Amino acid sequence: MKNYYVYYHYNSKNYDLIYIGVGYKNRAYIFKWGRNKHYLNYIKKYGDPPVDLKYKNLTMDEAYKLEEELINKYGRKGIDIGGILLNKSLGGKTSANGVKQNRTKEWGNKISEAKKNKPQHTKESKKLISEKNSKPVLQYDKQGNFIKEWKSQLEASKLLNINYQSINNCVKNISKTAGNFIWNIK
């Protein structure tokens, strides 16, 4: 199936390329799970990175091969001479220590089976977690007049049909407005 992609992550301040990965479904937008320590420290300092789904509609093998070629092209910071990427692995199904990962169908089945035995979050528990971790956000017009306080960026994004990342960038002072409004964390 051709439902894999190769994505780029950029520095949220100057838009320099910082990471290349293979994605399936929403992997490119998961910033704090399954990442190396260097990457996690970097986004802690600079914020969630802008994402570019650079190459789409790839098979798994095509995506991993391309990822490996691109990581080789740009190099890994602190590992390859002149490298710019925060990647630790060589890409192409390798772990951070350079060991090839054998991601066969059987491997995938084992992972799926292991997940089945773990308790899953319900919609209600996910909502509670999200609400617990969210902060109120304040909406202003372009002249700085207060409009409304929202429970979270996500709530404002959904109800006003404004891209969540745009509001997030405004809150982090990366951009001045989102949806023709000024946004701040309460």
For 89-122, the pLDDT digits (tens) are: 888 765 544 445 555 566 566 667 766 766 666 7
d(CA 92, CA 64): 4
Minimal CA–CA distance to 174: which of 15, 12, 11?
12
Range of the structural domain that residue 20 is part of = 4-116
Give yes or no: residues 92 and 16 share one domain: yes
Choose one of 88, 116, 144: the last residue of a domain: 116
Choose one of 89, 116, 143: the last residue of a domain: 116
Dihedral in degrees, nearest 10, Cα atoms 122, 123, 128, 133? 100
Give yes or no: residues 57 and 88 share one domain: yes
What pLDDT score does 57 carry? 93
Identify the segments of the chain with pLDDT beneath 50: 96-99
* CA end-to-end distance (rounded Å), the chain: 45
Choose one of 56, 84, 116: the last residue of a domain: 116
Give kind and range of the element (H or E) at residue 45.
Answer: helix 37-46
Which CATH number do you get for residue 49? 3.40.1440
d(CA 51, CA 39): 14
57-60 long-range contacts, CB within 8 A, separation 24+ = 57/2, 57/3, 57/5, 58/2, 58/4, 58/5, 58/6, 59/1, 59/2, 59/4, 60/4, 60/22, 60/24, 60/103
Give yes or no: residues 58 and 135 share one domain: no
Total domain count for the chain? 2
Give yes or no: residues 105 and 36 share one domain: yes
| Angle between helix 164-171 and 153-160 (nearest 10) | 130
Give yes or no: residues 83 and 142 share one domain: no
What pLDDT score does 18 carry? 93
Give yes or no: residues 26 and 102 share one domain: yes
What pLDDT score does 121 carry? 65
CA distances from 164 to 143, 168, 171 (A): 22, 6, 11
Which CATH number do you get for residue 160? 1.10.10.10
